[in-house]
Structure 1
């Protein structure tokens, strides 16, 4: 029996049983252990199948790729690589690594003088790629981008147009692969159990977040679900989900940290006041008990797990990984699991979304530059990248503009893909601030905002003190660039 079928059967068994506290706890333990055993078995098989060629062959193209949210994602890139091998006669050693692990592994490989040829790492575009380009550690990939430049939206080109401080030039040092932004996922069926529906959810800022507090209260009092929480916010210093969501809160409060030239605006009192307000707003959800206590230790997958195990009613997430996990269960995917956009900002204006672009990079020390450029050019052919993204289950959205016309991405009966597509194509968006100044990638990498939140929650300092510390740390980082 395949991993997906086993996982689906276990999940369905969980959903159909009586939900007593003791029984849920027992089933949750069994479910977790079963999935760990299954996942370990499949991961072992996956790593064996991905190391197709012996590492001693120095003619092999070495590619490091993020391990996907689902088996479909991993199989999709394996099939793409296999097709390129057959077409060109070249050999590839494709290796998968967990997203949090890959940036650190890449740094160690660079220091050892043995990096892969190509790497695609989720999260590296914000914390690693800008710095590597600055340090002259990435190869110029203009030859790949130029022929398809008109197929990219302008912001995608801007996101990979890094400055090389060694060569003293700005150029394209990464290939945009796909994109995502934060959406909010929640359980429709839990709302129905307390007589609520999506139409009851307010669109204004304060009303929207108060709604989920009330949902927690109603589920605990009316249905005796004492172990459920209204919100799945991440608060740890280890998870990128913490700063990704908090950056959206800063955006909601119109906090402008950098000007258009990339200069800090942190000495302006209005900027400082708004940061205080945003930190205080975020921390109170934890302090008031609307977030699981262990959220302060969560890693990136943990808010997904908490929602899927119905420990939280809603959670913001920066990809479609949550719906992708339940895609094989049509009823859950289309009906029980809901997706929402952000409410309007506190000032009443529509939310502006921050876009994450996953990027493939070619290392300057690659021994297979010609093959690597050839592979990247193949990957970014519209029909190739389009087929790959669909085969991967729609967990990440296209960047190439012509792909948006594919019915797969326009299907109104698919609530998750269609909503996420509209958010990116019809809403207001911007990039993370590392685009204005690569020093901001270090602010994200060091999770300055996560540290500030922890100081408020764990060390009991005031939001004002936490803001002063964060501003001081950011200034120190920028002073080094």
Structure 2
């Protein structure tokens, strides 16, 4: 198995021009990867636009420019390249498709807009765009969504509003391309080494988490002193940190927003729920059940630690881990396991958080109609289904009819079928940013990651951490009134 390709840092952008089914490399550009939080940055705080970005403002009016997140596996890039190639052959419109990793793509977009050269389409796998930068700058894409309205899942439609529950009926500012939910990956063979099978994994909340600590103890005693039971992130640099912690908040019935998207943090029971959730999460770091490096992890590092067998289990919001080993049949089918999260501590079912990723069109882009036409082509069920399957099913379809394709529910694929069964059966909930974009700003700042990192490194108390988070929430929401 060769996972080196997937594990290498992604710091090169590929600018590809398609002519029918042929493509040629137009150029490559090495970029300095910024790993700082960019959610609350304004364009004035970013580096000035490069000469290339400014010069690109003279592109032809019929040349579509697309910025797309770099895939974790090569097949993801090849899948969207094929869609672009087919659409270009169909329309005769030239496309420049650029790939950037998740740390680069938002700063690149803001610099391009600053230079008067906005992309026509942007797709990023981040759960929430830096929405404060996009407010008032996105084109209404209802022409794409409305013909698909009865086909999209309810969560995808709600997410397509982009700006929360206050967006008027019939207006949409994002085009759902895929969705994913939080699941657990673990090593079956490491369980066997510890004397267990998958059937031994407890189905109650406390027993489930204690089990992995027991597996760690057995493996450390007999095999490897450097292995850890849990691959939980504790850094302010990883979006996985806030995504996983949001799942923990659901487990403890903590609802920070009501159905109308209004803050509930002045309720003392909500604050106590945050405190309890923080204490629960940080215990694993303090008990040395998590690698000490977890306080510095980036988004790919829990994957890296897992694939390098430094941890027995990890949570992930996509199927990037199975996708990374898809071409190694022994690992994919026999050694790697994927399961749902256990019920809540109170024994009731725990909804899995679902993240819907959208493509957006800028309202000052020179080719808005062509951009909408491309997206309308991409979300045709047969096109989108082929596209998502070609990228190894890392992301799931947001269209109900596609989800019934046997590929997504085939029990012979233990990973894709597990995740999509959760989605098809509706045992999911969307992140709170769908109700109010102000919460998306809070998520992008990764306040949960900052608090958990300080609790792990500085021994910050859960009470102090909860107050930091609540104060930041109140400040952000006040700015958005």
TM range, smaller chain: 0.7 to 0.9
Q: CA deviation at 1:470?
A: 1.3
**In structure 2, what is the Cα distance between the partners aligned to 1:108 and 1:382?**
34
In structure 2, what is the equivalent of residue 20 of structure 1? Answer: none
Using structure 2 for the length normalisation, give the TM-score. Answer: 0.88
In structure 1, what is the equivalent of residue 386 of structure 2? Answer: 387
* Contact preservation (8 Å) 2:254, 2:270: yes
**In structure 1, what is the Cα distance between the partners aligned to 2:259 and 2:24?**
43
Is residue 2:125 matched to residue 1:126?
no
In structure 2, what is the equivalent of residue 93 of structure 1? Answer: 96
Which of these residues, 83, 87, 94, is aligned with residue 80 of structure 1? Answer: 83
In structure 2, what is the equivalent of residue 469 of structure 1? Answer: 468
**In structure 2, what is the Cα distance between the partners aligned to 1:393 and 1:167?**
34
Is residue 2:157 matched to residue 1:161?
no
Change (3 A) 1:212 1:50: farther
**In structure 1, what is the Cα distance between the partners aligned to 2:164 and 2:153?**
23
In structure 2, what is the equivalent of residue 274 of structure 1? Answer: 273
**RMSD after superposition:** 2.4
**In structure 2, what is the Cα distance between the partners aligned to 1:111 and 1:304?**
35
In structure 2, what is the equivalent of residue 260 of structure 1? Answer: 259
Q: Deviations over 1:352-391 (max 9, x none)?
A: 1111011110011110112111111111111111111111
- Tell me the secondary structure at the aligned position of residue 151 of structure 1: coil
Change (3 A) 1:391 1:204: same
Change (3 A) 1:432 1:386: same
| Runs of 5+ consecutive residues of structure 1 not aligned to the other structure | 1-7, 12-30
- Tell me the secondary structure at the aligned position of residue 101 of structure 1: helix
Is residue 2:352 matched to residue 1:353?
yes
- Tell me the secondary structure at the aligned position of residue 397 of structure 1: coil
Q: For residues 308-387 of structure 1, what are the structure 2 equivalents within 5 Å?
A: 308-387=307-386
**In structure 2, what is the Cα distance between the partners aligned to 1:164 and 1:313?**
38
**In structure 1, what is the Cα distance between the partners aligned to 2:421 and 2:378?**
25
**In structure 2, what is the Cα distance between the partners aligned to 1:249 and 1:166?**
27
* Contact preservation (8 Å) 1:163, 1:170: no
Q: CA deviation at 1:57?
A: 3.5
**In structure 2, what is the Cα distance between the partners aligned to 1:303 and 1:62?**
33
Using structure 1 for the length normalisation, give the TM-score. Answer: 0.88
* Contact preservation (8 Å) 1:163, 1:169: no
In structure 1, what is the equivalent of residue 41 of structure 2? Answer: none
Q: CA deviation at 1:127?
A: 3.6
Corresponding pairs, count:
446
**In structure 1, what is the Cα distance between the partners aligned to 2:407 and 2:395?**
12
- Tell me the secondary structure at the aligned position of residue 460 of structure 2: coil
**In structure 2, what is the Cα distance between the partners aligned to 1:460 and 1:431?**
31
* Contact preservation (8 Å) 1:188, 1:338: yes
Is residue 2:80 matched to residue 1:60?
no
**In structure 2, what is the Cα distance between the partners aligned to 1:228 and 1:407?**
37
Per mean C-alpha deviation after superposition, the further-off stretch among 108-117 and 185-194 is 108-117
Per mean C-alpha deviation after superposition, the further-off stretch among 54-63 and 112-121 is 54-63
In structure 1, what is the equivalent of residue 441 of structure 2? Answer: 442
Change (3 A) 1:168 1:403: closer
Is residue 2:396 matched to residue 1:397?
yes
**In structure 1, what is the Cα distance between the partners aligned to 2:469 and 2:91?**
51
**In structure 2, what is the Cα distance between the partners aligned to 1:121 and 1:349?**
34
* Contact preservation (8 Å) 2:205, 2:344: yes
**In structure 2, what is the Cα distance between the partners aligned to 1:430 and 1:35?**
30
Change (3 A) 1:206 1:351: same
Q: CA deviation at 1:467?
A: 0.9
- Tell me the secondary structure at the aligned position of residue 414 of structure 1: coil
Change (3 A) 1:166 1:148: closer
* Contact preservation (8 Å) 2:15, 2:97: no
* Contact preservation (8 Å) 1:136, 1:167: no
In structure 2, what is the equivalent of residue 142 of structure 1? Answer: 142
Q: CA deviation at 1:47?
A: 6.1
**In structure 2, what is the Cα distance between the partners aligned to 1:45 and 1:162?**
28
